[in-house]
Structure 1
Amino acid sequence: MLSYMQPHNLLSPFSLILVTPVFIFCLRILHRAYISRKQDIPGPFLASFSRLWYLRQVRKRNFQQTNIELHKRYVQQSTATRIDISYPKCIANLSIQSPWYYAAGHPHNRDLFTEQDSKIHATKRRKVASLYSMTTLMHMEPCVRECTAILEDRLRELAKSQNVFNLQHWLQCYAFDVIGLITVAKRFGFLDEGTDPHGLFPSLKSYLTYCADIGVYSEIHPLLWRLNSIFARGRGHLASFATEQIQKRQEALADVEQKPGIADDFLAKMFQKHYEDPEGFTKERIFMTCLTNIGAGSDTTSISLSAIFWYMLKSPKTFERLRAEVDGVKKTITYQIALEMPYLQAVIKEALRMHPATGLPLGRVVPKGGAMIAGKYLSEGCVVGVNTWVAHYDTAIFGEDAAMFNPERWLESEERTKRMDRMWLPFGSGSRTCIGKNISLLEISLLVPELVRKFDFELANPEAELESENIWFVRQENVNCRVRVRTE
């Protein structure tokens, strides 16, 4: 007869198999909590035990606001072995990216965005840096102007109908078509009817959602990759589209018997690099650069443009002052001219401060031996991150009115502007600065003056608060407008 009092059943081999992993898991959680508290980093209590707390917050899709509130309450936030701070200079010397980035790419073939090793990253970046230089992109102003003209035609049609439309959607269509012309010498057709002819929008959202969530537990990324997960469906579609565009462009260059490199688009220049140095600039490098442009070239720019127009429309005096500056330029506004328009640049900087495209911390890994960061000793392996939103809303740098849209703050004095510039991070900073920064600023600086000069915009609901979804990129959802052609 069996009795529940028999102790040997509790130590059976089967029980040990079940209990041991759970016991080890619990020990690891307690160890992480102990390390977190030992380092005296304030933060939510549950966050000190595991990354599940952080994952839950990320999945609410408004982490940028959560992060700002946490810093108001705790100054710093601890999530087991992940620390958030507000000063980017404190992690400037940390060269290894956090494992979060790992989930954004192929698990065994890292690209420029996912490469953690700083030396390898620098080598990869040097190979393509000239393609993204402002000198090179200056030759691509016609691409921006062509798409600007088409967007203006669509806005005139919307002005006739007086229908309410989502400006963010049209700005993303614009950014996609510009990146198409710049990369493969062909628009992707988004601006023709304001539709998504290739089904890229849902694939891009699927990819970004995967990155945001699985990046928290990036160690499971290789397994999900092999299982052909949602990541493969999102990124896989983008990759197939990029491959198709590369093949078509290569065939077009061959059909006209034109040596690659004569044209100005990215692919032509990359083919030239490949033919000159097949081993140093491989076809894989061509593919990854093209995929990077397509995958990241529309969201960041359209979010930035949407922020500019949202805040200008919520502040009519800003719009009118910018229009006065634009009207004062009696010729076509080139990028060089745009850079010399102080109020335009102040509006751009302030809008991108208020609503930067990225909304999760930019993480770096504490090196071997640990390091003193922001006055605290952090053990090796800790991930330290700066959320752009937290940095941009720091009242010590941007003033007590940091939560208010105020372009004039950038015009007060050269000293204050320099101090704010050091904390202005919409494109990251240092060696990890977004390589497409110049493309985005080119598009923004040329489009905004043209639309301000030619159109009057009105928010459909002026009292509405801005709604956004944070899936790594913080995309606006309700920039709903009406537009009229300017008659003055």
Structure 2
Amino acid sequence: MAVISIIPFLGVLYAVFTTVRVFLTKVPGPWYTNITSLILKYHEFSGSRRTWIHSLHQRYGPVVRLAPNECSFANFEGMKEIYQSGGSGYDKTEFYDLFKQFDYRTMFSTLKKQDHAQRKRLFADRYAMTNIVRPEIVQGIETRAESVLSKCKESMGGYLDVYVTLHCYALDCASHFLFSPMGTDTLNNPDDMVLIQELTYNNSLKQRWLEYYAPTLSALMFSLRGRNATISKDYVIKQSQQTTPNEATLISRLQSRSDTLQNIQMAAECMDHMSAGIDTTGDGLCFLMHELSLPRSQHVQQRLREEFIQNPNARLDMLPYLDAVIKEGLRLFPPIPMSLPRCVPEGGRFISGYNIPGGSVVSCQAFSMHRLDESLFPDPEIYNPERWIEEKGLVDRNRMFFSFAAGGRGCIGRHLATIEMKTLLKEIYSNFTTSVALEMEGDMSIDDQIIASRPKDQTCLLKFTLY
């Protein structure tokens, strides 16, 4: 009798399975992606997911099947539907469970867009440009940029490992915005350097994918190996409990909402924002400054300096070539180049002409969005800031720009990150030319982590010469 009762259930399961299979069979892609996700998982664990997906897009076009229930899109139509429809696009997948902090969901790791909107409303004003340009925020960023400038001067006659310096700058700027005046000062205080070591120098790619696909096994292995130091987490918890007189900081806003958030939830939010700030600014600047220091980009340095000389008192947003230099760096080396997965709503959706069943995983990755369409991005592997000055095709290039994602769930810290980058580059290239040091042997190719990327060897030795 029990066997008979389960037959209808199995019939429904089979019908759902074959329906998904039939719909996604019509999506272009290798034959094996219609029957197994093992190849996708292999590339995830081996750190080649991004390059594999891009190779599929180059072969099959802007819509490609990755697995029986997963597709990737590299066009504006797909990006708009997935991330912007209804304001915030589709809900996130359980992949974002990996980004919980202290076992709590943050704004970034919330799955449902309604929950995200509710959390974002608590502190979105702190990331508005009107708050970012307040004197107490800007002066703090400028002070940290001056500390970097001092390191550049001290290195003259030798070289400076800017990978370390830029990540220190990113951490100091992020913690200043979060906790000022209790932020870190890693460029001047060696005691704070341990935070950089813990937050930056690690390779947890395989561990994170194992945590996603086999959480029980991952937890067992983690417990047997023993927990790593949690200095950064202890630091954030401590600072989140302090009272700051600076009302422009994030923690001041969170503390004003103590009726909504527990102390540990405030700490979780701050931990998430601090980590994200280091990735975006530190790695993004490192890739960009290395490119600017190559012989082929010396003319870019010269044009930057000319813009600074001709506009000595101009606001950062009134320097179009500086903006183009940074935007092209973020196009070629997006700090978050990987897929940002979303779940197709119940009932399915038509995306770029394909009927995608509900429950399927869909995504775009910045790496492909910025390269695939060579009518918009000719010579996509060439660093060329002028492409953001040229009027022809500029509207469409801007629509495809995905370094900060898109829609209501795009990067909330994009204004802060941009001002940090502009402030530092103006300071450096108003005073110095940079070149790659003869001693530099590190590999600067993109090394993927679970969602972000970084220079493979995590070192970048540059030489600074005064004008």
TM value normalised by structure 2: 0.84
Distance 1:194 1:110, change over 3 A: same
Q: Counterpart of 2:400 in structure 1: which amino acid?
A: M
Q: Counterpart of 1:399 in structure 2: which amino acid?
A: F
In the alignment, the residues of structure 2 paired with residue 353 and residue 482 of structure 1 have an alpha-carbon distance, to the nearest angstrom, of 22
Please state if 1:239 is matched with 2:249: no
Equivalent residues, number: 438
In the alignment, the residues of structure 2 paired with residue 358 and residue 188 of structure 1 have an alpha-carbon distance, to the nearest angstrom, of 24
Structure 1, 478-487 or 129-138: larger mean CA deviation: 478-487
The correspondence for 1:153, drawn from 126, 131, 150, is 150
In the alignment, the residues of structure 1 paired with residue 18 and residue 66 of structure 2 have an alpha-carbon distance, to the nearest angstrom, of 11
Distance 1:482 1:103, change over 3 A: closer
* 1:47-126 matched pairs, under 5 angstroms: 47-75=33-61, 76-87=64-75, 88-91=79-82, 92-93=84-85, 94-105=89-100, 109-126=104-121
Deviations 1:95-125 (A, max 9, x none): 2112211222159632111111111110101
Aligned partner of residue 428 in structure 1, secondary structure: coil
Q: Counterpart of 1:319 in structure 2: which amino acid?
A: Q
In the alignment, the residues of structure 1 paired with residue 229 and residue 130 of structure 2 have an alpha-carbon distance, to the nearest angstrom, of 31
Distance 1:469 1:296, change over 3 A: same
Aligned partner of residue 193 in structure 2, secondary structure: coil
Equivalent residue number for residue 186 of structure 2: 190
In the alignment, the residues of structure 2 paired with residue 440 and residue 155 of structure 1 have an alpha-carbon distance, to the nearest angstrom, of 21
Q: Counterpart of 1:158 in structure 2: which amino acid?
A: S
Aligned partner of residue 107 in structure 2, secondary structure: coil
Instruction: Provide runs of 4+ in structure 1 moved above 4 Å.
Output: 30-34, 193-196, 203-208, 222-237, 260-263, 461-465
Over the aligned positions, Cα root-mean-square deviation in angstroms equals 3.2
Q: Counterpart of 1:268 in structure 2: which amino acid?
A: S
Please state if 1:449 is matched with 2:426: yes
Deviations 1:281-303 (A, max 9, x none): 44244222211222211111112
Equivalent residue number for residue 283 of structure 2: 303
The correspondence for 1:371, drawn from 338, 349, 353, is 349
Distance 1:141 1:199, change over 3 A: closer
Please state if 1:129 is matched with 2:124: yes
Deviations 1:271-290 (A, max 9, x none): 3x13xxx3234424422221
The correspondence for 1:398, drawn from 353, 376, 383, is 376
Aligned partner of residue 368 in structure 2, secondary structure: helix
Aligned partner of residue 464 in structure 2, secondary structure: strand
Q: Larger helix proportion, structure 1 or 2?
A: 1
Deviations 1:383-434 (A, max 9, x none): 0010110101022552332222111111111x62221111111111101111
Distance 1:60 1:359, change over 3 A: farther
- Measured after TM superposition, the shift of residue 128 of structure 1 is 1.1
Indicate conservation of the 8 Å contact 1:71/1:77, yes or no.
no
Indicate conservation of the 8 Å contact 1:225/1:232, yes or no.
no
Aligned partner of residue 52 in structure 2, secondary structure: helix
- Measured after TM superposition, the shift of residue 33 of structure 1 is 11
Equivalent residue number for residue 292 of structure 2: 312
- Measured after TM superposition, the shift of residue 227 of structure 1 is 7.3
Structure 1, 31-40 or 101-110: larger mean CA deviation: 31-40
- Measured after TM superposition, the shift of residue 448 of structure 1 is 0.7
In the alignment, the residues of structure 2 paired with residue 226 and residue 195 of structure 1 have an alpha-carbon distance, to the nearest angstrom, of 33
In the alignment, the residues of structure 1 paired with residue 156 and residue 280 of structure 2 have an alpha-carbon distance, to the nearest angstrom, of 26
Q: Mark the runs of 5 or more structure 1 residues left unpaired by the alignment.
A: 1-23, 254-259
Distance 1:464 1:192, change over 3 A: closer
Q: Counterpart of 2:281 in structure 1: which amino acid?
A: T
Please state if 1:476 is matched with 2:455: yes
Equivalent residue number for residue 352 of structure 1: 330
Indicate conservation of the 8 Å contact 1:368/1:381, yes or no.
yes
- Measured after TM superposition, the shift of residue 240 of structure 1 is 2.5
Deviations 1:208-235 (A, max 9, x none): 6368524752xx4477458755999469
Equivalent residue number for residue 254 of structure 2: 270
Aligned partner of residue 398 in structure 1, secondary structure: coil
Equivalent residue number for residue 321 of structure 2: 343
Please state if 1:42 is matched with 2:36: no
Equivalent residue number for residue 209 of structure 1: 205
Aligned partner of residue 77 in structure 1, secondary structure: strand
Distance 1:152 1:439, change over 3 A: same
In the alignment, the residues of structure 1 paired with residue 26 and residue 229 of structure 2 have an alpha-carbon distance, to the nearest angstrom, of 40
- Measured after TM superposition, the shift of residue 338 of structure 1 is 1.3
Distance 1:323 1:38, change over 3 A: closer
Distance 1:296 1:326, change over 3 A: same
Deviations 1:128-184 (A, max 9, x none): 101111111112011111111111111111114x13x43222111111111122212
Indicate conservation of the 8 Å contact 2:177/2:249, yes or no.
yes
- Measured after TM superposition, the shift of residue 310 of structure 1 is 2.4
Distance 1:351 1:81, change over 3 A: same
Aligned partner of residue 385 in structure 1, secondary structure: strand
In the alignment, the residues of structure 1 paired with residue 282 and residue 232 of structure 2 have an alpha-carbon distance, to the nearest angstrom, of 18
Q: Counterpart of 1:80 in structure 2: which amino acid?
A: P
- Measured after TM superposition, the shift of residue 31 of structure 1 is 5.0
Equivalent residue number for residue 486 of structure 1: 466
In the alignment, the residues of structure 1 paired with residue 81 and residue 224 of structure 2 have an alpha-carbon distance, to the nearest angstrom, of 36
In the alignment, the residues of structure 2 paired with residue 476 and residue 208 of structure 1 have an alpha-carbon distance, to the nearest angstrom, of 15
Equivalent residue number for residue 6 of structure 2: none
TM value normalised by structure 1: 0.81
The correspondence for 2:304, drawn from 310, 322, 332, is 322
Distance 1:125 1:234, change over 3 A: farther
Deviations 1:233-258 (A, max 9, x none): 469554323112224xx2xx4xxxxx
Equivalent residue number for residue 417 of structure 2: 440
In the alignment, the residues of structure 2 paired with residue 193 and residue 154 of structure 1 have an alpha-carbon distance, to the nearest angstrom, of 13
Deviations 1:337-394 (A, max 9, x none): 1111111111111110001011321111111111111111111110001011010102
Indicate conservation of the 8 Å contact 2:101/2:269, yes or no.
no
In the alignment, the residues of structure 1 paired with residue 225 and residue 113 of structure 2 have an alpha-carbon distance, to the nearest angstrom, of 25
Indicate conservation of the 8 Å contact 1:349/1:407, yes or no.
yes
Distance 1:235 1:222, change over 3 A: farther
- Measured after TM superposition, the shift of residue 38 of structure 1 is 5.1
Q: Mark the runs of 5 or more structure 2 residues left unpaired by the alignment.
A: 1-9
Indicate conservation of the 8 Å contact 2:34/2:65, yes or no.
no
Indicate conservation of the 8 Å contact 2:184/2:192, yes or no.
no
In the alignment, the residues of structure 1 paired with residue 93 and residue 388 of structure 2 have an alpha-carbon distance, to the nearest angstrom, of 32
